[in-house]
Every structure is written in C-alpha cells, then in structure tokens.
Structure 1
Amino acid sequence: MNDSSDSNSSQGTATSVLPLPHIPVVTSVSCCLILSVVYVASLYVWNTKHNRDHPATVKRRFFSVSIVMLIAPLFVYKFSSPDLLERATFAEVLGLRWQGIFPAIVLPYLLTMLLFLGPLCVQMQNESLKMFMDTDYWIGSFKNILWIRNHVMAPISEEFVFRACMMPLILQSFSPLTAVFITPLFFGTAHIHHIGERLSLGMELKTAIVISCFQLTYTTIFGFYSAFLFARTGHFVAPFLVHAFCNHMGLPDVQDLWQQHLVRRVLLIMCYIVGFLGWIILLPIATQPSLYSNNLYWNV
C-alpha cells in the first residue's frame, strides 16, 4: 500500500511539471477571436439613446458582460485538451484556486504600486491619499455606478474573459512567453470600438482615431503585464486586482510635475525612475511561480 501511494505521488509530481497538452493553433485563436467579438458586441446589443456613462446604459452593460462571463468558460471546457482537464480541476484551469492565493493578492499589487511610485508620491505630497482613509469616500464610491464600473465590473469581466478564459486556450497552443504577447492583442483591439462612441459624441474622426490608437497602445501594454501575471501566478485574482488599481491610478499626469518647485520636481522624477527600475528588477523575482504553487502554466 505504501509503495502504491509513493508511486501515485511520484506520478502526480511528474504530471504537475509536464508541458501543457497541445490543441491546434486555429482552435485557440478562433476561440479567442470569437470571445473578443462577443464581449464587445454585448456592449451594443441594447437600443439606447444614452451615452456610455448614463446609469441605464451602464446597468445594461453590466448584465451583458455578466452573460458573456457565463459563456466564456464553456469555450475553455469544450475546446481544451481532455488531458488538461484531468490534470487540474476546471476552476484551477481558470485561475480560481486557494493554493497560493495570499501571495497572489499581495505581491503583484505591491509590485504594481512600485511601478506607480512616482504618481503615488505626487498624490502624497498633494495629500490626496488621505481620502482613502475616509469611510465616507468608500461609501460614496460604492454608491457610484461609474466607480463600480471602472474599479469592479470592468476589471473583473475583462480579466475573466481575456485572461482566465483566453490564456488557458492560448497556452495550449503556444509557449508561455508567446502566449503573453498574443492574448493582449485581443484585449487591445477590443477597445477600438470606442472610436464609434467618440464619433457619436461629435468628436472629429481624426481626433477619435488618434485617441483610440493611443488607448489601443496602452491597453495592449497593460495586457502584456496582466497576461504575464496570470501565467506566472496561475491566479485570476492577481491580474484582477492589478487592473482595478491601474484603472484607479490612470495614466501618470506628467504635467503635474512641472507645477512643482524645482527641488521637489527633481525628487518626484527620481521617484518615477526608481519605481520603474525597481519594478523591472523585481518583476521576475516577485512573480516566481513557486511562490504561488503554480505548476500548471509556467513550465519554461
């Protein structure tokens, strides 16, 4: 009985470090393309005269993307290799697991705060960080449907569909590093639909295209980071929390630096540089798969 147990244990250990089973590239890419189209289409299925920030529009879109979140896992279950679904539970395949969850919550979040060290220092010297200690701020935020959209619903739906459901498929056709650079392309191009929204608000075509191209660039870059976190940690919660934090911070307001006194401006610029360099140095260290008990997705 002990010999059998040891044998099973050895087989389990060997299985945990095997490369992911393979599925055809056309299958994984087609599934991801369909999911991208379905996600964007779900935002426009409603016939409404209101803009995207109107509460009625926001609530309807909440419902639409929730339906997409129910549909997306079916693609993973249907088109994944049976060997993968035997190796891990379906929840684990989607990055929904308890093992390693504490470091998955804390480490990527702290790492991203380091990346935003400069903007955070600007907020500290402007004393705008004090509002986060105010309970009224949080009560008001959770009553604000736009805040909920930007910090809860958008991150959770986008990360679930574009990371938790797309990455397992792409990782079965490509190496982890290649997958990290492929899936964000679906995420970035999914934001092109904002061109139509801007045109409907009366914006000139050229301006709408320029802004949307800029948005495409930074959403794709963020997608690289988010996909990397999912593959390295094997957790959905890591990219979700980082996405919510990045939505809160927004793009750094570099113009704010030039409103500071010279000495303070130099110190803040140094914070920007130190934060970025520190993030680059610590990224591979703080995302070691072993920290998160991730033996499924990062076998390189």
Structure 2
Amino acid sequence: MQWADVNNDASVWELMGVRLEGLVPAAVLPLLLTMVFYLGPLVHSAMDNPAGFTGEVQSALDVRSWMLCVGDAVWLRNQVVAPVTEELVFRGAMLPMLVPCTGPTAAIFMAPLFFGVAHLHHIMEQRRLNQDSLGVLLGVSGHVVGPVLCHSFCNSQGLPDIRSALRHPQRSALLFSYLTGLLVFLVLLFTLTDPFFYGAIPVCSLAAPAASACY
C-alpha cells in the first residue's frame, strides 16, 4: 500500500476487517443470512435424517462429534484453515487495494473472480480423476469474521443438491423450501448487510498525484 501511495487513517488489521467494533453482529448476521439461503439443503438434510430435525440439532450440538472433527486434519483444513486464510487474502487483503482503484461496487465483484480463478485447479483435478462431468463441476470487508464463518458454513454444506431434491419423495416440500430460502435471502440481503450494524468501516484512497515540478 505504501508503494502504491495509498492514504488511510486505520491500521492494516482494521483495513483487513480484523477489529472489535461491530464484531458480534458481523459474526451473527451474515451467517444467519447464509443459513437462510441454505434453507432448502438444511430441510433436505433433516428429512433424510432418521431422527428428523431433532436429530440434526442434536448432531450439531454433540460435543463428542465436534471433538472428533477437531482431530481431523481434513476437517480443520476445510472448515478452519481454508476459510480464515482465503478470506484474509481474497477479501481482507485484496479489497483495501482494489477499492481505491476501482471503487467499492466494482471491487465487490472483482475479488470473487480472483477467488474463483484460484480454485480452478479443483475442476481440473476432478476432471483428471473422472469423478464428474464438466457441467456438474461448473454447477458446483467491513469485517472479515462474517465471510470466514459463512465460508466455513458453505464448505460444510457444499453446493445445494438440486438433482437429488427433484428425485426426493417429498419433492414439492423440498422445492418449496429451496425457493423460500432464496426469496427470504433476497428480501433480507440489503437489510442484514447494512453498514449500520457493523460500525464505521475503515477506508483508504489513492493519494492525489504530486504536482509536477516541470512547467
């Protein structure tokens, strides 16, 4: 940022979204919004659980299950290490550099493109192993804590399995829950992402070009 002559009145950590102000709503509201978006898959999972919704809740609150997960290196990579490191890089570190040059709106759309390109190797690996068709594979920062938790939750859920929902015996109820989740997500999107909940967001801008010494 110093090399690019970027002005800012906050620490690097604050610019990357690591700060205490607004921490609780930043952790809760985006995760709640993401869970609403995943209403269909969550209902799907509860329907397929022999113990139903109660079994899903008990499983989520089972301390022994969590202890086993913490001891699993693959789980730690997918649910902890990857969300933290990727969000710090592709959102926390990248947005403060993109915003001064492109503006906030363009930066919001550009950062995920870098994230997506960095994950193309997953598609190539799956194709090499012949596990799925290309069509299936392609279907597949005020605060950084919100994106980290949402990232971890999405990793745990995977992509919504629409194909399985269409073949489910209770297809109508499932499709209704998928559609309801999407619509409620869109209704709540701008309300739950209002900066009012998260405190003053540190910003940075490009320094004004120095006046030329040559006339």
TM-score (norm 2): 0.82
Structure 2 partner of 1:285: 191
Tell me the CA shift for residue 254 of structure 1.
Answer: 2.0
The answer to whether 1:255 aligns with 2:163 is: yes
- Equivalent residues of 2:123, 2:137 under 8 A apart: no
2:129 and 2:172 map into 1 onto residues whose CA distance is 40
Q: Deviations over 1:91-110 (max 9, x none)?
A: 11111100000100000000
1:202 and 1:213 map into 2 onto residues whose CA distance is 12
Following TM superposition, the consecutive aligned residue runs of length 4 or more in structure 1 with deviations greater than 6 angstroms are none
Tell me the CA shift for residue 196 of structure 1.
Answer: 5.1
Structure 1 partner of 2:138: 214
Structure 2 partner of 1:150: 78
1:80 and 1:296 map into 2 onto residues whose CA distance is 17
TM alignment of 1:109-258, pairs within 5 A? 109-127=31-49, 129=56, 130-195=58-123, 197-198=125-126, 202-203=129-130, 210=134, 214=138, 230=141, 234-258=142-166
Tell me the CA shift for residue 133 of structure 1.
Answer: 2.1
- Aligned-partner SS, 2:90: helix
1:267 and 1:98 map into 2 onto residues whose CA distance is 41
Distance 1:115 1:196, change over 3 A: closer
- Equivalent residues of 1:195, 1:212 under 8 A apart: no
Bigger share in helix? 1
Tell me the CA shift for residue 191 of structure 1.
Answer: 1.2
Letter in 1 for 2:63: T
Q: Deviations over 1:27-48 (max 9, x none)?
A: xxxxxxxxxxxxxxxxxxxxxx
Distance 1:140 1:179, change over 3 A: same
Structure 2 partner of 1:104: 26
Identity value in percent: 35
- Aligned-partner SS, 1:251: coil
TM-score (norm 1): 0.60
Relative contact order higher in (CA < 8 Å, ≥ 6 apart): 2
Structure 2 partner of 1:64: none
- Equivalent residues of 2:16, 2:144 under 8 A apart: yes
Structure 2 gaps of 5+ residues are 50-54, 205-215
Distance 1:134 1:288, change over 3 A: same
Distance 1:80 1:158, change over 3 A: farther
Distance 1:268 1:194, change over 3 A: closer
Q: Deviations over 1:164-216 (max 9, x none)?
A: 000110011112111111111111111122355446x5549xx67x269617x
The answer to whether 1:296 aligns with 2:202 is: yes
1:281 and 1:198 map into 2 onto residues whose CA distance is 35
Tell me the CA shift for residue 111 of structure 1.
Answer: 0.5
Structure 1 partner of 2:11: 89
Number of equivalences = 198
Letter in 2 for 1:103: P
